[in-house]
Structure formats: C-alpha cells, structure tokens
Amino acid sequence: MFLNKRKVIFLISVTALIFILIINQVKSQTIKIVDGDTIHLNGEKIRFTGIDTPELKQTCLKEGIKDFCGIMAKQILIDKIGNDNVECISEGKDQYKRTLAECFVNSRSLSSYLVRSGYAFAYRRYSKKFILDEDYARINKIGMWSMKFDYPWDYRKSKKN
C-alpha cells in the first residue's frame, strides 16, 4: 500500500510537471494586424523593416477595375499568420516609437513573403534586403505588379498635398 501511494504521488508530480512545461511552451500571443506592414504583438506596435505596403485606403487598377490593394496586403498578412505564433527580431525604434523588426512565422520572413506576393515593395531607402523578392514578383507580374499602382511612398506624399 505504501508503494502504491508513492507511485501515485510520483505520477501526479510528473503529470503536473509535464503540464507546466507544455503551458510554458505554448505562449499565447495577442496579435492585431494593423495593415500590411504593421502589427501589434502582445501590445507592442511593430513596423516591418525593409518593406513598404500600400496604405489601407490605397487602390490599384487591374484591367480598368479598382482593386483595394491596401486591404489585400493586410489580408495576405492575416492569412499567412493564421493561428501561428509570430517571432520578431527587433532592429530598434522609429520616430513614431514603433519597434522596427523583421518578423517570422514558422521561421519564414513575413516581409519576404509579402514582397514575393507582390503586395509589398523593397523599401530601398532603408534596406536592400528584399530586392530579389521584389524582382521575382515584378518579373512574374504577381500581385500589384500585374496592375497600375502608385508606390506607397508616392501615394502618401500625394495625400499630404
């Protein structure tokens, strides 16, 4: 009887330990997708470095039909993240106090994915990292490269005037 109680206590202890380890590994995240290149991750505002996506109100034209390319960029990001965890490598802060980072899902760069999907551009002003991804999308006429569009930085500039 004494050994049975010890075995039960041991099994309960091992089970509790395994449960605690599993809970700690499955870190829940709160994530909000703001637009194609900005997320809120666990309350921290993160702007993806090296890329620029169309603004939410920005539209493109495909064969004379208006395409809501800013909303599409956001949706592509939402679909890519799904229920997966996002991991980000911080590169500092910008003038708006946002964290600048490259973020990943399943070890795959979200920035690279967005640029290769044709709904983000290599932001050459700040980085040359995603130029090959942009070349791939442009050459294959993927996403916005199959449409008439304004670069996001030109669109923002036109809205200021």
The domain locations on the chain are 29-151
Distance from C-alpha of 122 to C-alpha of 111, rounded to nearest angstrom: 9
Could you please state the CATH topology (level 3) that the domain comprising 29-151 is classified under: OB fold (Dihydrolipoamide Acetyltransferase, E2P) (2.40.50)
Cβ(60)–Cβ(69) below 8 Å? yes
* Per-residue pLDDT reduced to its tens digit, 5-44: 666 565 565 555 455 444 444 557 899 999 999 999 999 9
* Per-residue pLDDT reduced to its tens digit, 99-135: 999 999 999 999 999 999 999 999 998 899 999 999 9
pTM: 0.81
Q: Which helix (H) or strand (E) holds 7?
A: helix 2-25
Give the ranges where 45-109 is alpha helix by DSSP (H).
Answer: 69-81
Cβ(151)–Cβ(53) below 8 Å? no
* Per-residue pLDDT reduced to its tens digit, 75-87: 999 999 999 999 9
Copy the structure tokens of residue 125.
Answer: 């002003």
Give the pairing type, strands 65-67 and 121-122.
unpaired
